[in-house]
Amino acid sequence: MLPIVQHPAAAKEFVNDPNRSRWHDQALWFVRSKRDKQAGSLPEWEYLRETASGIKTHTIANMAHYLQEFERNATARGAVVHWARDAEHHNEIVLRILRDHKTKRIVKSKSMLTEECGLNHYLEDNGIDVVDTDLGERIVQLRNEPPSHIVLPAIHIKKEEVGQTFHTHLGTDEGASDPKYLTEAARGHLRDKFLAGEIGITGVNFAIAETGGLVVCTNEGNADLGTSLPRVHIACMGIEKLLPRQRDLGVFTRLLARSATGQPITTYTSHFIGPRDENSELHIVLVDNGRTRLRESETFRAAMHCIRCGACMNTCPVYRRSGGHSYRATVPGPIGSVLSPTRDQNSYKSLPYACSLCGSCSDVCPVKIPLHHQLLAWRGELVGKKLLPASKRWAMTMASYLFRFPRLFRLVGKVGRFALRILPRWATHHRFNAWTIARELPDPPKETFRDWHRRHRTK
């Protein structure tokens, strides 16, 4: 049983530091603004989103066919395809490949899937030295934290804190916080790790059924350095990463980086088709881990469209102010709040409520996942399963009762307005009433809407 995540409690520390919360909010809004600029530069932006959504809907519906086509073509090009039921199985497969090669040192580029599976800790427990090579991931790895964002793993950390971490682990000057200096130090440190790495592990942005090839997108070039030195490349991917044809990439490479960071394309968009040469190996691990179950849900299936760009996080008013760690999940933000409860409804039941239903996430999603509709749908499911706290359930039952009896409604309204006039502040603002922590009660209206309506109706 997973522990129950209470988003408000988990977000408290972050929110109670107004400077950090505001700084985080602005950093992400800056990324969102860059995205808007790029999206606005293409007249066909909406057409691309519709096409991307259509391609994903088609592929996910026809998934068994495309998975087999991919396996056939990848194998014909010399890759070894593995199938993993769940996170544990995935980790076992990767460890077995490492053991077959007597490997102790691996270099890893960013993969949300391996985060989802907890691969790093599993390998470390089995005596493997795992080096995350994406700068942001390396920072959080050295600090022994999980990433707080799927594209910008260290977005919650200030440069002074990075400086302190690098001073401790890489021996940079004490108090140094210049991003250029720190990045240069990481470059030197990680070059040595790249040269010493025995196997490279990467994630996958897109897998192409028609060619059996993989596409990996990075800005730093770490996936490329990490796979072009060692002889063995292990690529780990969720089964939803599939696209039918190579030309479908035209749509997705145009959407991904523009949505993620406001770049027209990532620095490197690398296409791997089979292993490097006759003496090299490419292992591809296809992971289910709940995806086939998600596919069975009419309501939530479209969440499988996700290309992990992070645009929904950058725009989300709740994510921006509460930080990624408050979701206690590999994928935070709106898409995370849809996906996490599909793993365990009870543990993640508070996440669909970490949302104001403003709909901004649905507007920016490059593959048109109806995120805020899905979050609302989750609330319906959770209420139906009685997974809400008793206080909320009780209040909802009372409200529904009230709305069914007009006379009772009027009477309670009258009592309420009277109470607003006479109640002393201490009766409403006390430690048992969380609602009034940062709110004042309104002044009672001089006239009710009902009376006003009656007065004007006859005229």
Partner 1 sequence: MTMETTKSTQSDTSARQAILDRIQTKRVDIPPLPDVDPERVIQFDQPIDKFVEMLAMVGGQAHQVDSQADVRGVLDEIDVFKTATRVVSLAPDAVAGTIDATQVDDPHELATLDWTIARGEFMIAENGSIWVDGDTLPHRVLLFIAQYLAIVVPRSQIVSNMHQAYERIEGFGGRFGVFVSGPSKTADIEQSLVLGAHGCRKLQVFIVGDM
Find the binding residues for partner 1 in span 376-395 (CB under 8 A).
none
For residue 76, state whether it binds partner 1 (rule: CB under 8 A): no
Letters for 252-291 (x = contact with partner 1 by CB under 8 A, - = none) are -xx------x-xxxxxxxxxxxxxxx--------x-x---
Residue whose CB is less far from partner 1, 202 or 227? 227
How many residues lie near partner 1 (CB under 8 A)?
95
Task: State which residue, 158 or 343, has the beta carbon closest to partner 1.
Answer: 158
Q: Are 94 and 201 in contact (CB under 8 A)?
A: yes
User: Is residue 342 involved in binding partner 1 (CB under 8 A)?
Assistant: no
Of 102, 180, 404, 407, which lies in the binding site for partner 1, with binding defined by CB under 8 A?
A: 180
Q: Is residue 124 involved in binding partner 1 (CB under 8 A)?
A: no
Residues 191-230 interacting with partner 1 (rule: CB under 8 A): 191, 194-195, 211, 219-222, 224-225, 227-229
Compare residues 44 and 124 and give the one whose CB is closer to partner 1.
44
Q: 81-120: which residues touch partner 1 (CB under 8 A)?
A: 82-85, 89, 92-93, 96
The reply to whether 134 sits near partner 1 by the rule CB under 8 A is yes
Candidate ranges 40-48, 312-320, 321-329, 362-370; the one touching partner 1 (CB under 8 A): 40-48
CB of 82 to partner 1, least distance (A): 6
User: Residue 90 Cβ, how far from partner 1 at the closest point, in Å?
Assistant: 10
Residues ≥6 apart with Cβ < 8 Å to 399: none
30 is a site residue for partner 1 (CB under 8 A): yes
Least distance in angstroms from the C-beta of 47 to partner 1: 5
**CB-nearer residue toward partner 1: 152 or 335:** 152
C-alpha span between 392 and 400 (Å, rounded)? 12
Query: Is residue 15 a contact residue for partner 1 (CB under 8 A)?
Result: no
Subset of 299-338 contacting partner 1 (CB under 8 A): 301
Our finding on whether 293 is near partner 1 (CB under 8 A) is: yes
Range in contact with partner 1 (rule: CB under 8 A) among 5-13, 158-166, 326-334, 401-409: 158-166
Whole-number minimum distance, CB 117 to partner 1, in Å?
14
Min dist CB 128 to partner 1, Å, is 18
* Shortest distance (Å) from residue 288 CB to partner 1: 5
Q: How far is the CB of 338 from partner 1 (least distance, A)?
A: 18
Rounded to 10 deg, the angle between the 249-260 and 45-61 helix axes is: 120
Q: What are 7's two structure tokens? A: 């988003």
HEC readout, the chain: CCCCCCHHHHHHHHHCCHHHHHHHHHHHHHHHHHHHHHHHCCCCHHHHHHHHHHHHHHHHHCHHHHHHHHHHHHHHCCCEEEEECCHHHHHHHHHHHHHHCCCCEEEECCCHHHHHHCHHHHHHHCCCEEEECCHHHHHHHHCCCCCCCCCCCCCCCCHHHHHHHHHHHHCCCCCCCCHHHHHHHHHHHHHHHHHHCCEEEECCCEEECCCCEEEEEECCCHHHHHHHCCCEEEEEEEHHHEECCHHHHHHHHHHHHHHHCCCCCCCEEEEECCCCCCCCEEEEEEECCCHHHHHCCCCCHHHHHCCCCCHHHHHCHHHHHHCHHHHCCCCCHHHHHHHHHHHCCCCCCCHHHCCCCCCHHHHHCCCCCCHHHHHHHHHHHHHHCCCCCHHHHHHHHHHHHHHHCHHHHHHHHHHHHHHHHHCCHHHHCCCCCHHHCCCCCCCCCCCCHHHHHHHHHCC
Residue 12 vs 65, nearer CB to partner 1: 65
Residue nearer to partner 1 on the CB measure, 194 or 409: 194
The verdict on 182 binding partner 1 (CB under 8 A) reads yes
The residue among 158 and 417 lying less far from partner 1, judged by its C-beta, is 158
Angle (deg, nearest 10), helices 63-76 and 45-61: 90
Taking the complex as a whole, the smallest distance from the CB of residue 201 to partner 1 amounts, in Å, to: 15
Asked whether 366 and 46 are in contact (CB, 8 A), the reply is no
What token pair was written down for 209? 């059924």
Region binding partner 1 by CB under 8 A among candidate stretches 6-14, 25-33, 332-340, 351-359: 25-33
Question: Minimum distance from CB of 178 to partner 1 (Å)?
Answer: 9
Shortest Å distance, C-beta 342 to partner 1: 15
